[in-house]
Chain A
Amino acid sequence: FLGRGDAFRRKVSVELNPGLAPPLSLPPGVGLVHLRGLGDNDTLHFVLCNAGAPALLLVHSNSTRSAVTVDWPEFINSSSAGSLRVEPESSVTYSSALVFTRLWEYDDVNNTADPQKAAESSFYPPYELQNFVWSELNTTLNQSEHTVVLCGGEKTQSFSNGSLCLQVSVFESQGRDEAWPSLLHNANSSQLRVWINGVTPRGNNSRFILEFQSVGDAGFQSRVDMRSSIDDEYTPSIFKVSEWVSSPVNSSSVWGFSQWKPVAYRKARPVFEDATACRHSELVFVNGTPPSAVIQAYFTHNTRIYGLNISFGLAEDPVFYDATKYISWTVLMGLGDPPSDSFSPLIIIIITVGLVTPLVFIILGGVFVCVRKRTSQSTAYEPIN
């Protein structure tokens, strides 16, 4: 059923707070966005919700008539398990979620850009994303582009001029964003761009770390692979791809993935030199459900939860967050095998034309020389010594 994501299209529709009617309402700034990708014989549901820590839930159903139903009174009151369902439940084949739990900040005095090497005392208290105040979702919802932006921050001095933003995009077909890292996406994936803009750092050498948790069925296990790629034409000078894949226990087939390139950008409109590195920590098991309403409401059965940190910055690099007060990072989350880059048509054309032209001349020339040698042999005369 996983199919090849690049071959087909989905019809995408976006809906804010489906089925929510007055007098019920969510607190200000809180919302639930349902992004529905309708395929020929299946449906891919993405649910973004910022009640609690912001989370993106992916549910795949092999029915074209499946729907997300929210028991709103229940969801608003206690987010008890089962208050958000994808129905018919028997059609659900795979579900997983990504939760953004914390934003860490540490003072990288030794300039290693590696939080594992940083002293415990150099870490500041983390920003808990569940406590963030978010801007209204309905203003940033783009129905035609199928994107939604979530911006928010803590009610402290640090965020007086800044915010952490999440942009979620869902796609109808294969393609890539123009903005770096220009990850290749398909109809089976959604893209999350995270940027931290204008936040006042608490130290002179501040670097940031994003903390994630992934939630999946207990029957699945995760691992993070780093793949090398010879192709850096879409993300200049980046030759690696990180893939956080989830596969059934005792099987190697990949059912779901998060994919990113180990690069972050220090400007909103980056040029080559604005690229910096990002590194991921080891995967760890997490006990206890993450503080996200949509996770608590959807997952009724046993889950397996992993945690992962993404830290930004390059060792020995004298440029810290403070220099541009901006960092952005992009990750793709989707169903099936992660997409992999291939050469652009331009490269294939250049190489083909470049190699074939001299080859043609070599062959034609070879024939010409042979013919001429033959004919000249028959008519030539030997010089008399």
Chain B
Amino acid sequence: MADREEHQGLLDGDRDEDEGDKAPSVHLNPICDPNHLLHRILVLIFMCFLGFGSYFCYDNPAALQSQVIQDMNLNTASFMQLYAWYSWPNVVLCFLGGFLLDRVFGIRLGTVIFSLFVLVGQIIFAAGALANHFWLMNVGRFVFGIGGESLAVAQNTYAVNWFKGKELNLVFGLQLSMARLGSTVNMNVIGWVYGRIQMSMGSAGPTTLGITLMIAASTCLFSLICALVLGFLDKRAERILNKEQGKTGEVIKLTDVKDFSVSLWLIFIICVAYYVAIFPFIGLGQVFFIEKFGFTPVQARAINSVVYIISAPASPLLGFLVDKTGRNVMWVMLAVITTLLSHMMLAFTFWNPWIAMSLLGVSYSLLACALWPMVAFVVPEHQLGTAYGFMQSIQNLGLAVMSIAAGSILDVRGYLFLEVFFIACLCMALLAVVLLYLFDYYKEGGLNLSAATRSKRAKPE
């Protein structure tokens, strides 16, 4: 399959680029030739590792939950602030990220700047631990958050710029897999790193935590280097191919919000209610598996990362499945119901949690594949940027608020009640899916059409 696309790429590669019809006649080594697949693979590697650092460090608190709480002398609610502070800047930045990349910095400089934010944020975060100031750690997470989410936008822009009309879907899939890999590696490695440092220092404490987080910051440095290399390669390709610098193409107009349809608002509700039951749960999961299922910390970290592990290979596969079959609403409903089931298993049974967590991993991937593309069906193309920005923004708002809420619930009422809270959120998501289906059916919208009908409709007779 990649082969066939490669041939196509070779045949009409030049015409694909709007401006790039003056390909150089100079004969370059394939790996250095921006038109050649080998070179694109090289670029892809840097592109994938661009987000590695931020994904690795995003879940540092979850992987070190008990250590952070103990060393910094926190309660769970204040621990969850670390996640909330990551989300706060993104409530606004989701609208601004695209604008900053397109108009202010340009993709290359923007990527470097956002990578710098990620690195500096992580260093401040670690310094906060070293200095034993929890507020400084929050500041670090805030700065980290400014960079993190926008870096993902930049990564996507690079991908579109280099792979549009070629292996774009595969590249998106690979980038997502890479992101999940970063989270997984973090979950399974950082606790071990902490243990080694604790051993060599002889005791645990804020210093141990700080050193561990500083080591984690090296992944962000690595990502920054990737950003610099990518910038260089992109600049070089621009020179050789005479192509333009990539644009997100996002035009955000907040006044568009009043034109949003009922369907879109329902999609927003699903998005918030669903993700609220996933990410805060992973953030708090480690101790849950230790206390309820008697796992060792190592096992608990492993099972806590299984959602990410599964989503790495499952995302591209399920994306393919959804693309081929259509019927997005039904897939979303299935994903919400299976997530609901797995949360109920975790809450009300002592069944091996690997079952529930694996199910959660699959349904989480399925939802991501089926939910996000639906926005494109209910919004005119010129409003797409605003719609996606808005969706990410309220998702971040929801996560910020609910992270703290989840921490407080746990502190006062325990894990069963927390799980019931997540189940209630999922029930709300389910209700929204059902309403979405009915509304769409009533309005004869196209959300739940099969792929075949959809393509039939798309073709003007």
Contacts and interface: CB of A to CB of B under 8 A. Distances in A.
A235 B430 contact: no
Interface in B413-461: 413-417, 420-421, 423-424, 427-428, 430-431, 434-435, 437-438, 441
B279 to A, nearest CB: 20
Interface residues of A, number: 28
B204 interface: yes
Contacts of A239: 291-292, 415
A362 B434 contact: yes
Contacts of B288: 237
Given A230-B347, A358-B427, A361-B438, A235 B203 contact: no
Interface stretch (B7-15, B68-76, B222-230): B68-76
Contacts of B347: 230
A347 B420 contact: yes
A303 to B, nearest CB: 36
Interface string B381-403: 00000000000000000000000
Contacts of B348: 230
Contacts of A228: 350
B434 A230 contact: no
Given A230-B348, A272-B75, A361-B435, A355 B427 contact: yes
B438 A230 contact: no
B412 interface: yes
Nearest to A232: B414
A20 interface: no
B51 to A, nearest CB: 34
Contact of B431 (A236, A357, A369, A372): A357
A350 to B, nearest CB: 5
A379 to B, nearest CB: 15
B256 interface: no
A354 B427 contact: yes
Interface in B277-299: 287-288, 291-292
A355 B426 CA distance: 9
A154 B259 CA distance: 78
Contacts of B287: 237
Contact of B414 (A233, A271, A365): A233
A354 B350 CA distance: 22
B435 A347 contact: no
Nearest to B290: A237
Highest count of chain B CB atoms <10 Å: which of A228, A347, A368: A347
A224 interface: no
Nearest to B347: A230
A318 interface: yes
A250 to B, nearest CB: 31
A368 B413 CA distance: 41
B437 A237 contact: no
A273 B69 contact: yes
Contacts of A347: 416-417, 420
Highest count of chain B CB atoms <10 Å: which of A233, A236, A369: A236
Interface in B70-126: 70, 73-76
Contacts of A372: 441
Given A228-B350, A358-B431, A233 B69 contact: no
Contact of B410 (A236, A350, A354, A361): A236
A231 interface: yes
Interface string A342-385: 00000100110011011001100100110010000000000000
Contact of A232 (B73, B203, B416, B437): B416
B411 interface: yes
Nearest to B426: A354
Contacts of A358: 427, 430-431, 434
B349 interface: yes
Given A232-B416, A239-B292, A362-B434, A272 B427 contact: no
A241 interface: no
Contact of A237 (B70, B414, B427, B435): B414
B427 A231 contact: no
A230 B291 contact: no
Given A237-B291, A239-B292, A361 B434 contact: yes
Contact of A235 (B74, B204, B414, B438): B414
A238 interface: yes
Contact of B441 (A232, A233, A354, A369): A369
Contacts of B204: 318
Nearest to B350: A228
A350 B424 contact: yes
A237 B69 CA distance: 15
A303 B318 CA distance: 68
A271 B204 CA distance: 22
Interface in B37-91: 69-70, 73-76
Contact of B438 (A231, A236, A273, A365): A365
A272 B410 contact: yes
B411 A271 contact: yes
A180 to B, nearest CB: 10
Contacts of A231: 416
B165 to A, nearest CB: 34
Given A354-B424, A354-B427, A365-B437, A236 B203 contact: no
A263 to B, nearest CB: 10
B434 A318 contact: no
Contacts of A234: 414
Nearest to A271: B75
A265 to B, nearest CB: 14
B438 A272 contact: no
A340 to B, nearest CB: 14
A279 to B, nearest CB: 14
A188 B288 CA distance: 33
Nearest to B431: A358
Contacts of B424: 350-351, 354
A351 B288 CA distance: 20
B411 A236 contact: yes
A232 B431 CA distance: 28
A240 to B, nearest CB: 9
B423 to A, nearest CB: 6
Given A236-B412, A365-B437, A351 B423 contact: yes
B417 to A, nearest CB: 5
A272 B411 contact: yes
Given A318-B204, A351-B423, A272 B292 contact: no
Contacts of B420: 347, 350-351
B409 to A, nearest CB: 9
A376 to B, nearest CB: 10
10 contacts: A232-B416, A239-B291, A271-B411, A318-B203, A318-B204, A354-B424, A358-B427, A358-B430, A361-B434, A369-B438
What are the 6 closest A-B residue pairs judged by CB atoms, nearest first? A236-B414, A354-B427, A232-B414, A272-B411, A358-B430, A358-B431
Interface of B: 69-70, 73-76, 203-204, 287-288, 291-292, 347-350, 410-417, 420-421, 423-424, 427-428, 430-431, 434-435, 437-438, 441
Given A273-B76, A318-B70, 16 more contacts: A228-B350, A232-B414, A233-B416, A271-B75, A347-B417, A350-B420, A350-B423, A354-B423, A354-B427, A354-B428, A355-B427, A358-B431, A361-B431, A365-B437, A365-B438, A368-B438
